[in-house]
Structure formats: C-alpha cells, structure tokens
Amino acid sequence: MGIRLTNGGTGERRRTYGAPRRPMSEINVTPFVDVVLVLLVIFIVAAPLLTVGVPIELPKTAATPLASESEEPLTLTVFADGRVAIQTTEVPLEELGSRLRSIMAERASPRIYLRGDREAKYEFVMQVMGALNKDGFRDIGLVTDGGGPDLDSIAN
C-alpha cells in the first residue's frame, strides 16, 4: 500500500506513491506541427528553384515578366541547331502538335511559354510559333532574360 498525502485535514488526495498510473490518453501534437512548419518553409524556398528548363542562351529584353500561374508552366524550347523540346524532352517536329495537344488536354491553363535560343534563327522560331498558332495554340508567351536594352538605347 502506498503513502497518501492529504491536504490538511480535508481528506482530499493529492498524490499517491506506489499506485499504478493510468496511461496518458492525450496526443502531443507539438512535434507534428513543428515538422509540418519546417516542411512548409522548405517547399516555399525550393519551389522557385524547380522551374523546368534546359540550358539555352535567352535574348535579353526590357520586357516585364508575365504574372505567375498556379500550375507549372509548359515550356517549349527552340535550340540554335533546330531541335525542339517540350519541357526537357526533345521532340521531333512531326510529333510536336500531337504531343502538345495530348499534354494540353490535361492542363487547366492554355498558355505555352516559347523559349528560343538567342542564336536560333528568327525565321525558325517564328515558324514554330506559326505552327503552334495553326494547331490552335493561341496563348503563347515568349521567354527572355531581363536587363536588355530599352527603346531609348536601341534608337541611339
């Protein structure tokens, strides 16, 4: 039998030594919340770094960036040597329209970002853009690097 401590002479029990303890029935969620917050911060920091693309030299312009979208942007890359890639996958020109149609059927946004290497022929980039337009893709954004010349510096 254990030792009982009472509160003065009221007979109220404070603590019992040697008696079996009941299991704790409450879940401590603090460690779970800590882990979730750390993961949230990691995803917020890492999300801008996950932009899909293949390395090309984009032309520099003074244009302002387009507003960001909720889903990952679909990029079409035109290389200097005439190759074309959807995201990071190289696609033969004959299959470009059919592959884009199947991809766009599953997407919410109709926008395609066209990235043309600055060494690519302007004619070829415009032919790809015209073919996209002919196949029904009307929302096309051209991707460039910022920091290029503005109209005042070109005119001089």
DSSP-based three-state secondary structure for 41: helix
pLDDT of residue 149: 72
pLDDT of residue 84: 92
Q: What is the spatial distance between Cα 63 and Cα 144, in angstroms, rounded to a whole number?
A: 8
DSSP state of 108: S
pLDDT of residue 12: 56
pLDDT of residue 106: 86
Within a 13 Å sphere around the CA of 11, how many CA atoms are in the beta-carbon half?
Answer: 0
Q: What averages of pLDDT result for each successive group of 10 residues across the chain (156 residues)?
A: 54 60 79 92 78 63 66 85 89 88 85 87 88 85 76 68
Cα-flanking dihedrals φ and ψ of residue 113, to 5°?
-95, 120
pLDDT of residue 34: 93
pTM: 0.54
pLDDT of residue 37: 94
pLDDT of residue 104: 86
Residue 122 amino acid letter:
Y
